[in-house]
Structure 1
Amino acid sequence: MSIATRMHNGKKQWSYRCYYTDHIGKRKQKNSKWFDTKKEATKAEAQFIEDAKSSSGTKLKNVIKDYIELHKSNNKPETIEDKEYILYTYLEPLLDVKVDRIKPAMIKQILESDDIKRLSTARKNKIYIYFKGVFEHACNFYDLSRNPMRSIPSFKMTEKERMHEMTIYTPEQFQAFCDAIPEAKREYMIFFHLLFWTGLRKNEAMSLTFNDYDGKRVNIWRQLKRSSRSEFTVLKSPTSKRTVALDKATIELLNEQIDKYKGMPGYSADWFLFGGYKPLSLTSIDRVKKEAIEKSGLPYIRIHDFRHSHASYLIEKGVNMYKISKRLGHSSITITMDRYGHLLDRQEDEILDAIENG
């Protein structure tokens, strides 16, 4: 550490020079700007040294710069550009604040601003992810004790957005989808058939064993964990535990599954209805679905949309909403109404048209 002096425009000025170790362990030299008094230079030097001891005293803008630089090799140019835009634009009020001084409330205020409120949920969550990534970077490399984003929940999709994303297949479209699945993949067709005609959740159907099928209904009492083919978890809610009655066509198809597996060596009723000793893999299910969509020329559909298609069909047939709610395993009829109420509104329009044009 040393204090240097110079004459500038007839006045004496002071600056300091010191060595420090940065957040990645590299030894560096700091040459300060010039100050009008020695006291100012000495004070600034002491503050810099204190901040260098605790790298969490680094300003947010420097953490962002380092964060973007670190990920440049793994990101596409457009991703880097978007990151820079999001972080420097929306975090602008905090750029000159030291990361260890940034509180969750300060970030929450930004996320609740009008500039962000008007965006789609997908865009909001991209902002959320980049914010979280920057502060996690500060935890990993700048000694920040806790990521302030952990106290802030991500954004939930609005019901309007959820409905916009939902794809509904009619029974005729679903049959075309099934017809596009080759005979060699018939078990997958039966799996999709069960989803479409019962409204079961994907993980509920994947967890079913032959013990859970009595020839008339299936017993839903557990579900496979996500990304697992051997671990189970509790159902989404207590009301998700239910028995679901089956139509004749579905019963015939499930009986096919019994005939297929019961003659195999080591067969047990504990085997899975779909897959036998191990349940079908989600990757294979998605692949068969994708191929059938491409072959049939139908609109893209998510697996969960088979559940929505089932609910839509029941509503169209005039089934009581309470019964639909029980069949789907919703925790309350309110959830069912919130999710599918717009389909009822459509029916009301048809009734009025019939009255006025009758």
Structure 2
Amino acid sequence: MASFRKRGCTCKKKHCTCGAKWEYRIKYVDRQTGKTREKSKGGFSSKKEAQLAAAEEELKINQFGFAENGNEFVQNYMDDWLEVYKRPNVKPITYSVQERNVRLNILPRWSRYRLKDISRTEYQKWINELRQKYSEGTVRRIHSIFSSALNDAVHEFRIIRENPVQKIKIPKDTERKQQLKYFTKDQLDLFLAELKKPQKNAKYQHSIQYFALFSLMSRTGIRIGEALALTWDDFDPENKIISVNKTLVYPLNSEPYLSTPKSKKSERVIKLDKNTVNIMKKHRINQKEVVVRYPNYKATDENIIFHQHDGRWLRTNVVREYFKEVCKRANLPILSPHALRHSHAVHLLEAGANIKYVSERLGHASVKVTADTYLHVTNKIENEALDQYSRYMEH
């Protein structure tokens, strides 16, 4: 509640002529301490001017609710920044990524700090430590989220004067080849062959679902979320295509939901080879056979291509764990399902596919993303092409 008074008035008249200035005083509860605080400002020529300024200030206090002068704790600030200012304004999948990075990486390190206590040097040390654990891209994502939040603290909420983490240097990847994880052609053959072997303790031994899922991913390069979101309406065996127009998001401790693909280019139609089409056809028949064979295995009401025994979408964490188990059984490097996407891209490039075609097939935002990601493969192709050219010119 704001109150107003005229300071230093000497004429005591209704319409002051002595040039005294008006000031406002606002009382509010500091949510950090629970105590009543007061904010005042003077120097206004009229009461009306003071009232307008006070109304604007009250709006900021009520709307933002953050402690001033950088005294807000990072934990409180990030919680509200995510829930109030990000969740309503970004795609669910984007919010999920931001929330996960805040919860798992930012808050464990900075939650007990006040915004004003974050120093550039300490932050840079933290970034350097993160690079020992994560890739350059992952660290850039974490930094981008925190820096964006602090930019809002400066320009939107005006609770700190400047962003302390601007112009931070993120150590670059120097060995991209070693960091890119994928199966060679022979390794992929071993992996898929292992999926066909019967497992004595398997609950649904006659199901070929995982063989179909991982075969599709390895022959198309689709992401795990895109694969798990597929329905049979997306599969066109006659034209040998599969349509990618959604992705499954499975947040921690929450219900799964469908979202739009990662980017505009991610929405695409992918041509399938004959072998993959046949595998998908077999899976469709097998899916119905499994429902008949096992009493507790239910058909899906959503026409889902890959689903749990109760008819719901497969959980991404379950798929990842199963993938690792198959890697162990086949004595292969323990990778993740995303390695199938990299494998498909590498195999296409090594087979001589045009990089623009590979980029479009993967749904990358640009050809540059594809070239940067598979730099060692494209360099190898360029060197081989130059060798062939040299041999041609020498004869």
> TM-score band (shorter)?
0.5 to 0.7
**Unpaired runs of at least 5, structure 2:** 1-31, 34-66, 74-108, 147-158, 199-204, 293-297
Residue 261 of structure 1 deviates from its aligned partner by: 3.2
- Counterpart of 1:253 in structure 2 is 279
- Counterpart of 1:273 in structure 2 is 305
- Counterpart of 2:191 in structure 1 is 177
Mapping for residues 198-237 of structure 1, pairs under 5 Å: 198-215=220-237, 216-227=240-251, 230-237=256-263
Using a 3 Å threshold, how does the CA distance of structure 1 residues 99 and 252 change in structure 2: closer, same or farther?
Answer: closer
Is 273-282 or 212-221 further displaced after alignment?
273-282
Give the partner amino acid of 1:225: V
Supply the distance in 2 between the matched residues of 1:161 and 1:259 (Cα, whole angstroms).
45
The sequence identity of aligned pairs, in percent, is 24
Using a 3 Å threshold, how does the CA distance of structure 1 residues 278 and 269 change in structure 2: closer, same or farther?
Answer: closer
- Counterpart of 2:179 in structure 1 is 165
Residue 186 of structure 1 deviates from its aligned partner by: 2.7
Supply the distance in 2 between the matched residues of 1:311 and 1:159 (Cα, whole angstroms).
20
Mapping for residues 130-141 of structure 1, pairs under 5 Å: none
Please tell me whether residue 345 in structure 1 is matched to residue 392 in structure 2.
no
Using a 3 Å threshold, how does the CA distance of structure 1 residues 311 and 255 change in structure 2: closer, same or farther?
Answer: same
Residue 286 of structure 1 deviates from its aligned partner by: 1.9
Supply the distance in 2 between the matched residues of 1:304 and 1:150 (Cα, whole angstroms).
35
Using a 3 Å threshold, how does the CA distance of structure 1 residues 337 and 221 change in structure 2: closer, same or farther?
Answer: same
Question: What SS does the corresponding residue of 2:208 show, helix, strand or coil?
Answer: helix
Q: Deviations over 1:171-213 (max 9, x none)?
A: 2211111222343263112111111110000100000011110
Using a 3 Å threshold, how does the CA distance of structure 1 residues 112 and 230 change in structure 2: closer, same or farther?
Answer: closer
- Counterpart of 2:352 in structure 1 is 318
Supply the distance in 2 between the matched residues of 1:108 and 1:240 (Cα, whole angstroms).
37
Q: Is 2:250–2:316's contact at 8 Å kept on the other side of the alignment?
A: no
Residue 122 of structure 1 deviates from its aligned partner by: 2.8
Q: Which of the pair is proportionally richer in helix?
A: 1
Supply the distance in 2 between the matched residues of 1:166 and 1:268 (Cα, whole angstroms).
36
Give the partner amino acid of 2:307: G
Supply the distance in 1 between the matched residues of 2:208 and 2:260 (Cα, whole angstroms).
29
- Counterpart of 1:48 in structure 2 is none
- Counterpart of 1:285 in structure 2 is 319
Supply the distance in 2 between the matched residues of 1:166 and 1:346 (Cα, whole angstroms).
15
Please tell me whether residue 193 in structure 1 is matched to residue 204 in structure 2.
no
Supply the distance in 2 between the matched residues of 1:100 and 1:325 (Cα, whole angstroms).
41
Give the partner amino acid of 1:218: I
Q: Is 2:128–2:170's contact at 8 Å kept on the other side of the alignment?
A: no
Using a 3 Å threshold, how does the CA distance of structure 1 residues 101 and 288 change in structure 2: closer, same or farther?
Answer: closer
Supply the distance in 1 between the matched residues of 2:318 and 2:129 (Cα, whole angstroms).
38
**Unpaired runs of at least 5, structure 1:** 1-22, 25-54, 64-85, 88-97, 133-144
Q: Deviations over 1:317-350 (max 9, x none)?
A: 1111111111111111111111113211112333
Residue 287 of structure 1 deviates from its aligned partner by: 2.4
Number of equivalences: 262
Using a 3 Å threshold, how does the CA distance of structure 1 residues 192 and 268 change in structure 2: closer, same or farther?
Answer: closer
Q: Is 1:235–1:241's contact at 8 Å kept on the other side of the alignment?
A: yes
Residue 107 of structure 1 deviates from its aligned partner by: 2.6
Q: Deviations over 1:83-133 (max 9, x none)?
A: xxx99xxxxxxxxxx95643xxx63354347x96698363796xx89xx9x
Using a 3 Å threshold, how does the CA distance of structure 1 residues 257 and 116 change in structure 2: closer, same or farther?
Answer: closer
